[in-house]
Amino acid sequence: VHHIDFEGRFFSVKGPSIVPRSPQGRPPIVVRATGAPSLDVAARRADIVRVAPDRVAEARAAIDGAGRTGLVTVLVDVPASSAVSDALATLRHDTGADGAVIVFDEIPDAAASVTSIAPFVRQNGPTTLRDRLGRARPASRYVRTLEGAAL
């Protein structure tokens, strides 16, 4: 339990957090990047960035530029149409994205949706969202190391 003593332009927060640290360390941060300012924040801060299919390369470049290569998952929007499984099958090749946010026009027929996307997702996976993204649990900023041994 630690005071954070944060003082910034918009916020000042004494702390400590009232809620214990979560099983996945902290919630993954998702940013939808639509232009330079949001892409800059996304590259530096996000765990997941959502972009239009034609901006994946730009997003990757920004992430590399921020020194976070391999730490950010890039997702593109895919409409939930009858062709959703075709779109998912060629997604990585066509766009370079890591995955998709399936956007429904109406409340979906759950069974039909699951059937169409089932071949593309892991059936039994880890329990936290961060684990599913294949990311390590971030170390607490308060972890102290002794010589040779991490606590």
Which stretches of the chain bind another protein, using CB under 8 A?
1, 11-20
Bridge partners, 102 (sequence order): 78
Q: CB 31 → another protein: shortest distance, Å?
A: 22
Q: CB 27 → another protein: shortest distance, Å?
A: 13
Of 18 and 146, CB closest to another protein: 18
Strands of 99-103's sheet, edge to edge?
A: 30-32, 48-51, 73-79, 99-103
Q: CB 3 → another protein: shortest distance, Å?
A: 9
Say how far apart CA 22 and CA 107 lie, in whole Å: 31
Of 14 and 141, CB closest to another protein: 14
Q: CB 26 → another protein: shortest distance, Å?
A: 15
Of 17 and 115, CB closest to another protein: 17
Q: CA nearest 68: which of 94, 95, 29?
A: 29
**Beta pairing class for 6-7 and 12-13:** antiparallel
Q: What are phi and psi of 94, to 5 degrees?
A: -75, -35
Of 20 and 70, CB closest to another protein: 20
